[in-house]
């Protein structure tokens, strides 16, 4: 499952809250959460994302959190508030929703690694 960071899904479903610095956080049921910034994979905005997975190989992502001012653009449709002096361009909803190809490829590799249990 992929959601914007700090999604209400985590407390609603009792999912383990990931560390923003990186790494996987385990729950008691075999699931893992992590915090990844898609800006580290080429997205113009920071685009902090939380993942929850079960039964897949856990990759090493490009971990860490960036200072908000380090991204080359802002996402304009998600209600972010910035200082008046912040002159970075804003990306619209379509661009904000895009997933960088290198990040997409990691997600696909994770999906392809699913371990199926015998019936």
Express each pLDDT in 40-60 by its tens digit: 998 888 888 999 999 999 999
In this prediction, residues 64-70 reach a mean pLDDT of: 65
φ and ψ of 73, to 5 deg: -150, 165
% of the chain exceeding 90 in pLDDT:
49
Burial-class residue 14 by CB neighbours within 10 Å (0-12, 13-18, 19+).
Answer: exposed
pLDDT at 24 over 60: yes
Tell me if the pTM is above 0.75. Answer: yes
Q: What is the pLDDT of residue 44?
A: 83
In this prediction, residues 93-97 reach a mean pLDDT of: 81
Q: What is the pLDDT of residue 68?
A: 57
The Cα 98–Cα 94 span in angstroms is 7
């Amino acid at each position: 499952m992929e959601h914007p960071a700090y999604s209400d899904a985590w407390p609603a479903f009792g999912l383990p809250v990931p560390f923003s610095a990186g790494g996987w956080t385990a729950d008691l049921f075999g699931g893992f959460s992590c915090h990844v910034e898609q800006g580290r994979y080429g997205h113009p905005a920071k685009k902090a994302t939380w993942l929850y997975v079960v039964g897949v190989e856990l990759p090493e992502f490009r971990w860490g959190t960036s200072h908000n001012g380090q991204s080359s653009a802002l996402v304009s449709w998600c209600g972010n508030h910035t200082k008046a002096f912040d002159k970075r361009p804003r990306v619209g909803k379509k661009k904000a929703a895009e997933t960088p190809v290198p990040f997409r490829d990691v997600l696909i590799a994770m999906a392809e690694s699913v371990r199926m249990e015998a019936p």
